[in-house]
Amino acid sequence: MRQAIMDHRTDPARTDRGLAQAAAGRHAPGGLLRPLAIGSVTLAHPVVLAPMAGVGNLAFRLLCREQGAAMVCSEFVSARALVLGNRRSFDMLRTHPDEHPVSIQIFGSEPVEAAEAARRVEAAGADVVDFNMGCPVPKVLKAQAGVALMREPERAAAILGAMVRAVSIPVTVKMRAGWDEETINVVDLARRLEGVGVAAIAVHGRTRTQGRSGRVRWEWIQAVKEALSIPVIGNGDLFAPQDVERMLLETGCDGAMIARGALGNPWIFRRSLHYLQTGEVLPEPTPEERVSMARRHLRLLADLKGEHTACLQMREHAPHYLKGFPGASGYRARIVRAATLAEYDRIFADVLEAAGAAES
């Protein structure tokens, strides 16, 4: 593997060059906000929401889309469960007119199952069907799915080829750089998947053994971009508008996929777009805006799934909205026990009262 780019966080000279290029790129015709074509689907710009297990529910996707994400993606759905008619899995295919273009991600290990699942995703109204080859969770690996497929390139190509032949919507894949640093095979595998008709590839610049830790290696993303003719979307450690800009500039990739940076922070899309267009960094949301968005998120979940399920799912999201508030750890302890909208409202009211006291 060629080592063309040093770590973006530890090379000040390269960062300075990137910023200088960014200033020029923003004001060049089209700048960095060019439309992104993924097969037959054209996105307004290149900044998209990543698929995230346990997070990418419809309410969260609607908020991110509203804040400017060019495309949103669901949490992953089991191909086998869809084929077997699992009701909960079919519920996860639900989309809303306001979130399009939307991608639904599936995972699996068998070509026939993945092809049939892709048909059901298309029938449910998704604009894109994505395939997961990046999940490092042991349960998924045990089923020979997720990033485990990067060790079986022939099977991976058979699965993606079957999906492409099964549907008319674009088929994409999200993958890691490899199983570990001794087996970085993302370029060869990406070429193979392009050959079977995949419309775009998102690359998370970490290995399976890294999980979410360690540094993201953007040179791996750049290497894939240089090897393919289809769009390549970079993913990993995008927590601020400046990170999005550097990803696009330093890797040359066609799009930037935000994951954990959007948790409790759907504004990152609006702020990133503004920065890419103007070079101006908008202020962070105020405490009042953060709590207001958390309340809205909860109400959207309740409207979509009922109060009980909404309160359970909000336990994943609420702590992210409250991160950095005075006494945040205590509020997290209350959130994991909250079972009604009224309980959440009391928590949010207390948060704002404490924040106001801390500022006075």
Dihedral (CA of 265, 270, 273, 279) sign: negative
Cα–Cα distances (Å) from 41 to 71, 76, 171, 272, in that order, read 10, 20, 11, 22
Q: Check: CB of residue 159 under 8 Å from CB of residue 109.
A: yes
Helix (H) or strand (E) run with residue 77 in it:
strand 77-78
Question: Catalytic site residue 135?
Answer: yes
Report how far residue 55's alpha carbon sits from residue 316's, in angstroms, rounded to the nearest whole number.
Answer: 7
Which amino acid would we find at residue 264? Answer: G
Question: Could you give the CA distance from residue 48 to residue 222 in angstroms, rounded to a whole number?
Answer: 18
Could you tell me where the DSSP H helices lie in the chain? 12-27, 58-66, 79-83, 87-91, 111-123, 138-142, 153-166, 186-195, 218-227, 241-251, 267-278, 287-305, 307-321, 328-335, 341-359
DSSP character string of 275-340: HHHHS--PPPPPHHHHHHHHHHHHHHHHHHH-HHHHHHHHHHHHHHHTTTSTTHHHHHHHHTT--S
Catalytic-role residue among 64, 73, 135, 311: 135
Distant-in-sequence, close-in-space partners of 309: CB < 8 Å, separation ≥ 6: 301
> Contact at 8 Å (CB) between 318 and 335?
yes
Tokens of 313: 């799912």
42 closest CA partner among 212, 255, 221: 255
- Helix 307-321 to helix 341-359 angle, to the nearest 10 degrees? 20
Q: 165: which 2 tokens?
A: 């032949």
> Strand 200-207 relative to strand 232-235: parallel, antiparallel, unpaired?
parallel
Active site residue ranges: 135
